Structure 1
Amino acid sequence: MNEDSIKTGCSKVLELLDGTGLDYIINNAAIVRFAVLAFTGCMMILALQNPRRDLLFSFDPAVLAETIKCNVTGPTLVTSFLLPAMENSSSKIIVNMSSSLASIN
């Protein structure tokens, strides 16, 4: 995730809108670092996919930080940069897409 790239892209969108409202923001970009998500009763086993095949309590903090940065911070930045255009809209709909890997069901 690159904040400057997001800002540049959002600025281009705002320029193209030229003061008109933006009805929808659809955040549909992410990276997947999770290899296993399994439930056994109330116990969740979560493994991170990385070269060392680390488990929940021996994960690589850099991999986790990059995953959170892209999947959480990225969509939040997109939304905050485009918010001025949404304020000029009557719909104001934000959609955050997810995959089954993010589901707890």
Structure 2
Amino acid sequence: MSEVEEALNQIRNFKGVEGYVIADSNGNVLRRHPQMQSAEAEKYALYMKELAVKAHGVVRDINPENSLQFMRIRLRKLELLVAQENDFFVVVIQKWTPATDS
């Protein structure tokens, strides 16, 4: 098993993971979670690419010596983890449950 396959298996088996997408710098889906529909993967790739480009520009505007490497976006029931490296980016979609006050 290749390193990539091993890493994807670890992501897939992590508690709460609903899906993942690996895309190129143009937003083209290269790999997706086996149970994720193609259209859904393409939607995540397109929108997260656009968001990452904008966020990268903001980070550069604040400090030109920095670059965006990772984003965590928390939604009502999901958390999106976006990592960008060279000409690829990875989006992991996972469920999360807010902490309750005891």
User: TM-score, normalization: structure 2?
Assistant: 0.30
Whichever of the two has the greater Rg, that structure is 1
Which structure has more strand as a fraction of its residues? 2
Which structure has more helix as a fraction of its residues? 1
Greater relative contact order (CA < 8 Å, ≥ 6 in sequence): 1
User: TM-score, normalization: structure 1?
Assistant: 0.30
